[in-house]
Chains A and B, each alone.
Chain A
Amino acid sequence: MKYAFSFLAVIALILIAGLGSQVPGMQYLFGIVIPYLAIMLFVGGFVYRVIQWAKSPVPFSIPTTCGQGASLDFIKQDKLDCPTKTSEVVARMFLEIFLFRSLFRNTKSELHDGPKITYESSKWLWLFALLFHYSFLLIVIRHMRLFVDPIPFWLSAIESVDSMLQIGAPTLYLSSLALLGGIVLLFGRRLINPQVRYISLNNDYFPLVLIFAIAVTGILMRYFLRTNIDIVNIKNLAMGLVTFSPVINVKIGAIFYIHLFLVSTLLAYFPFSKLMHMGGVFMSPTRNMANDSRAKRHINPWNDPTIKPHSYAGYEDEFREFMVDAGIPVEKELSATKDEA
């Protein structure tokens, strides 16, 4: 019942913001102080984590080669999966980061009588992950309209594509539906797939529930709970935040403060959680290195040059007689060593 904790935690967060923001004066806390703190934690934490990673060296060249390497002229290299040039590594990383290429490889194994094991292509996780990440990205980009003035053309273009079905007023964004769908599918997978369910931690359920609540409060605010929700006022606050001159001089509905508080929580939580995979995926040595370790020497900063093999001299000293008897060449003949002795 690990997921239950996550629901309880998010409900508690909603209550804190919903009730707290209604206390006179507390709007400044929820509308200004907490968002600033959250952003600081996010940026500071993210940078800190990346620096912490970068501080540890990559002592060895350890790419996972997923195709034929560069060798003889007549052997065709798989440049994407076994890159040697930087451009090839960049291409591999691009496909990994933007198209989740490794997940695309996924197979599902099944054991049958015999025994017989089968492996079928299984693209569900890849599909759910793409749906979730891209709709989330689109929504983040859409929100940029709150922080810039005038709104650039490309942003309006994205919005009109996102709402091209023209359903309802205000028009329904496809990305909102996609995000909710993506979360439900990923969450459902965690519950239904016995292997994934067994490995899941609070740390896995909580961000999903939190992002779900962020999406739901956003949708409620846009379409349903519109009392005291005026986009102009909200944009004023947002512009004030980015220009470091925030003011709140009108009443904004509690649903807005709830939404904002949940987003702040996500930002603050991000650097201290598995969500840092966003940064880590760029730095994974099995993916971002070229497979050229025999052609170019990779340097290990902590390599200890004093570590030497058990010496040949020591070896010959121990086995000289046997070697001479067997006709194996030696550095020091038996007589010579006897003389020394």
Chain B
Amino acid sequence: MAVPKLEQLSKSVVQGPSLVTGAVPTKDWMDVPAIFKPGNYAYPAKQEKVEYLNSQKDLNFPNAREWSPEDDDWKLPEGWQDIILKGLKERLDKFRSLKIFMDCCVRCGACADKCHFFLGTGDPKNMPVLRAELLRSVYRNEFTIGGKILGKMAGGREMTVGVLKEWFMYSYQCTECRRCSVFCPYGIDTAEVTMMLRELLHLVGVGINWILEPASNSNRTGNHMGLQPHTFKDNVDFLAEDVENLTGIKINHSFNRKGAEFLFITPSADVFAEPGLYTAMGYLLLFEHIGLDYTWSTYASEGGNFGLFTNNELMKKLNGKMYAEAKRLGVKSIIGGECGHMWRVVHQYMDTMNGPADFLEVPKSPITGTTFNNAASTKMVHISEFTADLIKNNKLKLDKSRNSHVKATFHDSCNPARAMGLMDEPRYILDHVVDWVEMPENTIREKTFCCGSGTGLNTDEIMELRMRAGLPRANAVKHVIDKHDVNTLSTVCAIDRATLTSLMNYWNPGCNVAGVSELVGNALVMDGENRQELDEGLRTLV
């Protein structure tokens, strides 16, 4: 599916008849069916991936089959309505958030224009309130007195194939970024609603490949990319060699080493593809700089967790490797690399699901002696927290001028910002390694805009949607490019590094995307270095 030209899309976003540009649809939203055509849906999961996941203990991914969203018949299982409604009942009993969020919305509309998907597409069902109404209408009809008696009069509707198709379309046009939840007077979090919708859809075999394939890879090989242990090691070794070529510093790193002080886990994308590679080189340099006793793991070689985008059981199962490996290797604690949704899982879910990690110690920096009490129970510290502490204690030799080719801005990734409160640590690091400026106030920190492709939506067949959804982010970057000649968008998220690169190439060509740790790596002055003239830092081709 070809992506429209920049001029076309620019015009279409602003002038196309949509609710965001002032054109009011004539039909009630309940009467507008979801119509699938190439480019507006992510490909369904391959049969063998669903079969593999379903074959795993504890997991339930039924109804593996070949199907297409464009077909009238989705080959749903016998009695699928009952499966969905029973699944909904079960989840209402398990999650107070779901019940409260179904009952309390007053449809004030404060969330409507806070969603990047709505701003970019103008599709009414991308207003968070309406996205939730897709489920709420069924909830009302089946589980509330008013809805049972009055039906449509009270905003209820039957669970039909049409409704199910709508769920599929719009739960995969939401990146669970939680921006709407910041503005909602009751804190209604569409992420909670979308997660439930996706869980329910999996019960009848409706899911997308871009999520289930990485998830099954991660289960088997330890990482989303499906890198087997020797390949994973090779990739990291290559990066270490690159670092040596650039700086003359030999990197001492290890894999699956028992007795190391720290286990280091980062998204596998960082060792697999540009521009994440440079961030990984930054990690290697940083740990070498301070002589950290740490190990990589090939078994727990994935920080990210696409289980978060499918269901609770898979999330828990994939996440379990982190503690299992930390225990097996006998490390003291875990350091986690830069990633968005990984940190949502680590910060808000991991300890609850797979703790208590009583075989680990509260993370303590061996260099500065700082104890990270904010991670006292989880025993896992964020690389930005770890690095900021090193800088504060003057333990890093930094030369900011080595980043003089960079004028940066900083993108708060959704999950660190809105599900963790990690905002100022990366900023503190940036202050010390690079010249940088903030984007406009309403687009940063807790009000940050998603890259538009999170939660497993960074697949190429929906590129136009992604470019539309990423527009608010790209537009804020453009503002600082025009005003301050920014040339680099920095971030602490691996998905961002991939997706923002596509987004910048489309909307703001010439703007690079870099991990904060890459910029740290650029600025580090290493003992015994034999550094060439690195005009582009770790990206310099030698």
Which residues of A are interface residues toward B (Cβ below 8 A)?
5, 49, 52-62, 64-72, 74-76, 78, 81-82, 96, 100, 102-103, 105-109, 111-117, 119, 125, 129, 193-204, 272-274, 276-277, 280-281, 283-287, 291-300, 302-304, 306-312, 315-316, 318-319, 322-323, 325-329
Which residues of B are interface residues toward A (Cβ below 8 A)?
10, 13-14, 19-22, 24-25, 29, 56-58, 92-101, 103-110, 112-114, 119, 124, 127, 129-130, 133, 144-146, 153-155, 178, 181-189, 192, 219-222, 228-230, 233-234, 255-258, 298-299, 313, 316-321, 324-325, 328, 346-349, 351-353, 355-356, 370, 372-378, 380, 385, 388-389, 392, 417-425, 428, 440, 442-443, 445-447, 471-472, 475
Q: Which residues of B contact A280 (CB under 8 A)?
A: 100, 103-104, 186
**A206 CB, nearest partner CB in chain B, Å:** 9
Complex Cα spacing A311 to B325, Å: 10
Q: Which residues of B contact A96 (CB under 8 A)?
A: 185, 187
Q: Which residues of B contact A283 (CB under 8 A)?
A: 96, 100
Complex Cα spacing A327 to B256, Å: 10
Q: Is A114 in contact with B10, judged by CB distance below 8 angstroms?
A: yes
Q: Which residues of A contact B321 (CB under 8 A)?
A: 309-310
Q: Which residues of B contact A67 (CB under 8 A)?
A: 421, 423, 445-446
A328 CB contact (under 8 Å) in B127, B185, B221, B233: B233
| Given contact pairs A125-B110, A297-B356, A284 touches B186 in the complex (Cβ within 8 A) | yes
Complex Cα spacing A57 to B91, Å: 11
Complex Cα spacing A112 to B46, Å: 41
B144 CB contact (under 8 Å) in A100, A272, A303: A272
CB closest residue in chain B, given A82 = B421
Q: Is A75 in contact with B428, judged by CB distance below 8 angstroms?
A: yes
Q: Is A281 in contact with B155, judged by CB distance below 8 angstroms?
A: no
Complex Cα spacing A195 to B113, Å: 9
Complex Cα spacing A322 to B229, Å: 7
Q: Is B154 in contact with A105, judged by CB distance below 8 angstroms?
A: no
| Given contact pairs A65-B418, A71-B385, A284 touches B100 in the complex (Cβ within 8 A) | yes
CB closest residue in chain B, given A186 = B108
B318 CB contact (under 8 Å) in A72, A105, A309: A309
CB closest residue in chain B, given A315 = B299
Complex Cα spacing A311 to B146, Å: 49
Q: Is B107 in contact with A56, judged by CB distance below 8 angstroms?
A: no
Q: Which residues of B contact A322 (CB under 8 A)?
A: 228-230
Q: Is B119 in contact with A117, judged by CB distance below 8 angstroms?
A: yes
Complex Cα spacing A66 to B187, Å: 11
Complex Cα spacing A114 to B155, Å: 38
| Given contact pairs A56-B95, A116-B475, A199 touches B353 in the complex (Cβ within 8 A) | no
| Given contact pairs A105-B182, A306-B58, A326-B234, A65 touches B421 in the complex (Cβ within 8 A) | yes
Complex Cα spacing A56 to B100, Å: 10
| Given contact pairs A293-B352, A297-B377, A274 touches B19 in the complex (Cβ within 8 A) | no
B97 CB contact (under 8 Å) in A195, A286, A308: A286
